[in-house]
Structure 1
Amino acid sequence: MRWLLLIVLLTGCSAFPLASSGGPQVDRVPAGTLDAATARTSLAALPLSAPGRLDGYVRDCDSDKACVFGQPWFDTDGDGCDQRSQVLARDLTAVERKPGRCSVQSGTLDDPYTASQINSVSKIQIDHVVPLAEMWRSGAATWPQERRVAAANDLRNLVAVSGKVNQSKSDKTPDEWMPPNAGYACSYGRIYVTVKAAYGLSVAPAERSALEQALTTCDTPPAT
């Protein structure tokens, strides 16, 4: 039951305001993201370990599949608004919902991964900044199902981005992939470390080095 309570605390609709309007926002992060200094300290404290195996990891939720992180975009608090809809409403501007429903049918995304603007919801996907496969390799394989469901739907780890870029990322870790928009490296690193630290997940040596490098960019003023 305590993990069910955690889900509600982490994912309530009202806790995450809509993104402000304006030009492309390269520094937007979910509420609860660690600041740069705390992220550096938290990263140094994470257990260092080679990536585990993916044995047993099955994301598919068809009737005969393992579905180890639960149904995608589970409505964790039962308010009729699933996690995808909550993230779209949080990250897009000029949001319009389907009549009488929570689902977002239109809006504008200032994509932090590409620093471009996307005006079609069909071209937007929700990225798990720490991929679920990476969670599995770094500790989640031993968790009870309810904790994995909480982690998969934690709004701190979910960001609306270009679908094409999200597909290119797939399950890659920061040593293998970083957002094409270099100006988002600091924010991406902060989000990633926040989630790893929140769930006590391990990091591989190359992964830690890449995150350390990303966090060094937090000290560089953005270009104007």
Structure 2
Amino acid sequence: MARCPGGYAPVMRWILLIVLLTGCTALPASPQVDRVPGGTLDAATARTSLAALPPGAPGSLRGYDRDCPGACVFGQPWFDVDGDGCDQRSQVLARDLTAVERKPGRCGVQSGTLDDPYTGSQVTKVSSIQIDHVVPLAEMWRSGAAGWPAEKRVAAANDLRNLVATAGKVNQSKGDKTPDEWMPPNTGYACSYGRIYVTVKAAYALTVAPAERSALEKALATCG
């Protein structure tokens, strides 16, 4: 292992402090950059699908409301889609984490380790992990979902192809941003992120704005 003369011990102390305070550790390389949800298009198919997506400027967010109770246009988060007693958040945590331990007698995940593809860091506190909608629900709304029946919106909001576990702070920094506004800090994940995003847009025949399309083309150009 390469050593940094005179500076190794202080650096290690800072890393230890970060681990203790946040539960996140930097990994030596980008982890699992090819990890994508089941059903994600391969790079070639994603490029073809992106070219076929209908163009369109983002629509209005009028009527968009995720607050429950209230309008709750994408339904109550999170939904147990297959009726197995395990909601989609728990499904994604169990899928994306390693060394998973569930709550006694329950589906919920109480511990595990996430090799976060968005950041290249390791997250060891489940409470620090959130589930990202790769295509944000607000973007779904303004690119076609506003005209869907409620049942289709609930299905889309809980579609495992669009859900990825990541560090909470990163998910919050993304918010409702599209790829022209935000991409994962771990640049090695650009290809995979673009593939997931296009998969979902294509599955629901959602429109794509010019800047959004350009950003996705750049992301897919990084695929090997």
Q: Do structure 1's residue 160 and structure 2's residue 165 form an aligned pair? A: yes
- Secondary structure, in 3 states, of the residue corresponding to 1:213? helix
Aligned ranges for residues 1-224 of structure 1 at < 5 Å?
A: 24-62=31-69, 65-219=70-224
Shift of 1:77: 1.6
For residues 103-153 of structure 1, the C-alpha deviation after alignment (integer angstroms, 9 at most, x for no partner) is 000000000000110000000000000000000000000000000000000
Shift of 1:157: 0.1
Q: What is the TM-score when the length of structure 2 is the normalising length? A: 0.86
Which residues of structure 1 form unaligned runs of 5+? 1-22, 220-224
Question: Which residue in 2 is equivalent to 1:11?
Answer: none
Shift of 1:24: 2.3
Residue identity matched to 2:55:
L
Residue identity matched to 1:182:
T
Moved over 2 A (4+): none
Question: Which residue in 2 is equivalent to 1:5?
Answer: none
Give distance in 2, aligned partners of 1:44 and 1:93. Answer: 36
Give distance in 1, aligned partners of 2:54 and 2:203. Answer: 13
Residue identity matched to 1:197:
A
Aligned length: 196
Give distance in 1, aligned partners of 2:65 and 2:88. Answer: 20
Question: Which residue in 2 is equivalent to 1:9?
Answer: none
Give distance in 1, aligned partners of 2:35 and 2:78. Answer: 21
Determine which structure has more spread, i.e. the larger CA radius of gyration: 2
Residue identity matched to 1:205:
P
Give distance in 2, aligned partners of 1:27 and 1:114. Answer: 14
RMSD between aligned residues: 1.1
